[in-house]
Structure 1
Amino acid sequence: MTPADRRRAFDRFWRAPDATDDGSGLGLAIVAQLVRASGGTVALDAAPGTGIDAAVRLRSATRDRRAGWDRSPARHRHPQTAARV
């Protein structure tokens, strides 16, 4: 995966130009959206011709409690009137 491809990898329906499987291009976009909604981060490490390693980092619930963070669902903090599908 080239650096330019890596920047687009989280776009919905994007597939690598040399993709050989029958994916829809939604997998990484869904992962990124869920991880970010949980307050985490996701990053890719890939070299051309070798595939992708995805690293997901999520906040620790124990650390959240010690820091006094609000752990209520995000929908309560940021009301949403419409959903993207």
Structure 2
Amino acid sequence: MDCRWDVGSDSCGYFQIKYNYWVDCGRPGGRWKSCAKNYYCASKCVQKYMNRYINARGCKRDCQSYARLHNGGPGGCLKDSTLRYWRKITQKGCF
């Protein structure tokens, strides 16, 4: 899983993790791109990120909040800009 340019910065690996996302999840694996491209490390990063922000700003513990938080950062579950991403996720079976 390579990196791709997305909304002003690179997104890398299995979950398209950006540098600041990796910092917020505690910098696991020592290097951002290496972690993002390693499934185990990237999975741990996403889990830590979700645990850190899921209750912030009224985000519920549900599929929609997790998806929108992942896409829009802290408070992403409340941002209109993440609704398009959420609609894509619902097509994959997350409700």
From the two aligned structures, give the one with the greater helix fraction.
Answer: 2
**Structure with larger RCO (C-alpha < 8 A, sep 6+):** 1
TM-score for both structures, normalised by structure 1: 0.27
TM-score relative to the length of structure 2: 0.25
Q: Which has the higher strand share?
A: 1
